[in-house]
Amino acid sequence: MNEQNELIKRRLEELDEIKKLGVNPYPHRYDVTHKSADIIGSYTDPADEAEAEIRKQFIVSVAGRISAIRRMGKATFCHIKDDTGRIQLYIKRDDVGEISYKILKLLDIGDIIGVKGYPFRTRTGEISVHCNSFELLTKSIQPLPVVKEEITETGEKIVHDAFADVELRYRQRYIDLIVNENVRETFINRSKIIKSIKNTLEKYDFFEVETPTLQSVYGGANARPFVTHHNALDIPLYLRISNELFLKRLVVGGFNRVYEFVKDFRNEGIDRTHNPEFTQVEWYQAYGDYTDSMNLVEEVVETACLAIHGTTKINYQGTEIDLKRPWKRIRMVDAIKEKTGLDVLNTTKDNIILYMKQNNIEFDTKLAHSKGLVIASLFEETCEEDLIQPAFVFDHPIETTPLCKPLREYSSEQIENMKNDTEQVIYVERFEPYINKWELGNSYTELNDPILQRRLFEQQEERGRGGEEETHPFDDDFVRAIEVGMPPTTGVGLGVDRLVMLLTNSVNIRDVLLFPLMKPLT
């Protein structure tokens, strides 16, 4: 810490010296005509000395942060980084003048400068800018970590003094982006993935919309919300856990294909694949069912992968995964039977629970009242670990969501009597896409029967009173919207952060969030 304080003290002294020379170390603007990558990419060697002299008249203006500096008396070589890469500068005292060169001696790694000059190739072969003038644009007070790379005789690259402390990287992402090139690349790819998803959806005439973040009734998922209070209206409000119910209201209103990228907020734990604030894309398509959504999810993910890799094959932490369509499709009950040998369709609830206890399978006893929830829990605890290659797990128990249509094979009488038979499980047209053991999303053939919708909401409320922590609240206005009439519809919610993790080979969800939630330092 003392060493850090000394460096800051020295930089502040340099700042005072610069001001004494009559220079504003924080000017308002600077005209940039070229980026470093443009200069390097377009450069060609002159044919002869005459052409070289003529080229000196074609001046470029480039700006960036100093990443390396090497002084040699009356000349200085340094590198600056802009948002496209890095370029070397050659600055001679005789070219820029005595005062400017004094300022140059007061500069450090991390300072931002703008230079004007002409491109040339040095004797060592590096394309550089021979500077006729330069201007200090920002004097940095906080020193940056100096990351050094060494190439061994065998060609191995060794990095010294890397900014590698994970906690510090997340807290000081601005430094992380400056010194770690791969981090910047991750977020560039994140943007490409989102753009690819938008392009795919809009190819099929989906319309982008915006829905509320603050909601008086949260819904669209079974999750605990963040609660706040509106002072003027004196009412509690919730940060959305999902935008589903609002998007379906838009389908009722006549927008047949809608999508939205949103920040959702769920007051739950933090781990490698969960963050309380996360990004989802949800889309809804009138006149389709969950098979249409399966097809579109496949295309969205495959196309996003091709957009950044040029192939459907990726290597995630040593495991090769192929995202090429079509993906495996398997019913939840069949996945359980394949893994455990247990035919849950013909096994009582109590025997399923007994099986889980005998095999030390984790089980929340609060779910024991429902055979459907027991089946879903058994699947999660036994089958997810095997779902490495992309797969759709479909036809879930109705207790897992009140927003989905039952399978079309059920009669109205079967659905009506389901509450009276604790061994009867009604399955719904729901699927979850799995890749690398992760559930990446959720999709339904949406329930548009207002009578059944009201009853399922009421059952969720009853289960909440019975002790379940994550149940869906009753949303009377949403039921009213369904009563107006929603056409047959299918919808998808896809976790953007997990998809970016997968496609950028990132280990932790916080690696793909620019500013992840962190516990405050005490």
* % residues pLDDT > 90 (the chain): 82
Task: Determine which helix (DSSP H) or strand (DSSP E) holds 391, and give its type and residue range.
Answer: strand 391-397
Q: What are phi and psi of 284, to 5 degrees?
A: -135, 140
Full DSSP string of 45-72: --SSHHHHHHHTTS-EEEEEEEEEEEEE
Mark 187-202 as b/e (b = at least 16 C-beta within 10 Å): bebbeebbebbbebbe
CB-CB contact of 430 with 403 (8 Å): no
If DSSP codes are grouped into helix, strand and coil, which group holds residue 156?
A: coil
Mean pLDDT of 3-9: 88
pLDDT tens-digit readout, 502-511: 999 999 999 9
- Does this chain's domain 2-144 share its CATH topology with 183-327+389-512? no
CA separation for the pair 57, 437 (Å, rounded): 60
Confidence of residue 8 (pLDDT cuts 50, 70, 90): very high
CB atoms within 10 A of CB 151: 9
CA separation for the pair 271, 309 (Å, rounded): 27
Task: Determine which helix (DSSP H) or strand (DSSP E) holds 132, and give its type and residue range.
Answer: strand 127-138
Q: Considering only CA atoms, which of 71, 132, 81 is closest in space to residue 102?
A: 71
**The one-letter amino acid at 354:** L
pLDDT tens-digit readout, 235-265: 999 999 999 999 999 999 999 999 999 999 9
> For tokens 């004094």, what's the residue?
102
User: Per-domain residue ranges for the chain?
Assistant: 2-144, 183-327+389-512
CB-CB contact of 135 with 107 (8 Å): no
Mean pLDDT of 180-194: 96
CA separation for the pair 390, 328 (Å, rounded): 7
CB-CB contact of 134 with 64 (8 Å): no
pLDDT tens-digit readout, 376-434: 999 999 999 999 999 999 999 999 988 999 999 988 777 777 666 677 899 999 999 99
Show the tokens assigned to 219: 């819904």
CB atoms within 10 A of CB 163: 18
| Residue 469: pLDDT over 60 | no
Average per-residue pLDDT in the chain?
Answer: 92
CA separation for the pair 62, 131 (Å, rounded): 10
Mean pLDDT of 476-485: 94
CB-CB contact of 132 with 59 (8 Å): yes
CA separation for the pair 468, 367 (Å, rounded): 8
pLDDT tens-digit readout, 105-162: 999 999 999 999 999 999 999 999 999 999 999 999 999 987 666 666 676 766 655 6
CB contact set of 319 (below 8 Å; sequence gap of 6+):
388, 436
pLDDT tens-digit readout, 75-121: 999 999 999 999 999 999 999 999 999 999 999 999 999 999 999 99
CA separation for the pair 365, 275 (Å, rounded): 26
Residue 4's pLDDT is what? 79
Provide CATH code, domain 183-327+389-512: 3.30.930.10
Task: Determine which helix (DSSP H) or strand (DSSP E) holds 338, and give its type and residue range.
Answer: helix 332-340
Sign of CA dihedral 451, 456, 461, 465: positive
Full DSSP string of 284-326: EEET--HHHHHHHHHHHHHHHHHHHHSSSEEEETTEEEE-PSS
CA separation for the pair 331, 313 (Å, rounded): 25
Mean pLDDT of 16-38: 96
CA separation for the pair 47, 66 (Å, rounded): 32
CB atoms within 10 A of CB 93: 16
Q: 310-313 long-range contacts, Cβ below 8 Å, gap at least 24?
A: none
CB-CB contact of 163 with 176 (8 Å): yes
Q: Could you tell me which residues are beta bridge partners of residue 390?
A: none
Confidence of residue 221 (pLDDT cuts 50, 70, 90): confident
Q: Considering only CA atoms, which of 502, 305, 491 is closest in space to residue 404?
A: 491
**Under CATH, what is the fold of the domain 2-144?**
OB fold (Dihydrolipoamide Acetyltransferase, E2P) (2.40.50)
Residue 464's pLDDT is what? 60
Residue 465's pLDDT is what? 53
Residue 421's pLDDT is what? 66
Residue 424's pLDDT is what? 84
| Residue 462: pLDDT over 80 | no
pLDDT tens-digit readout, 266-322: 999 899 999 999 999 999 999 999 999 999 999 999 999 999 999 999 999 999 999
Mean pLDDT of 172-193: 95
Residue 16's pLDDT is what? 96
Pairing status of strand 235-239 against strand 257-265: unpaired
| Residue 458: pLDDT over 90 | no
Sign of CA dihedral 406, 409, 414, 420: negative
| Residue 492: pLDDT over 60 | yes
CA separation for the pair 118, 57 (Å, rounded): 7
CA separation for the pair 277, 266 (Å, rounded): 7
Residue 3's pLDDT is what? 76
**Omega prior to 390 cis, within 30 of 0:** no
| Residue 324: pLDDT over 70 | yes
Mean pLDDT of 471-497: 92
Residue 418's pLDDT is what? 66
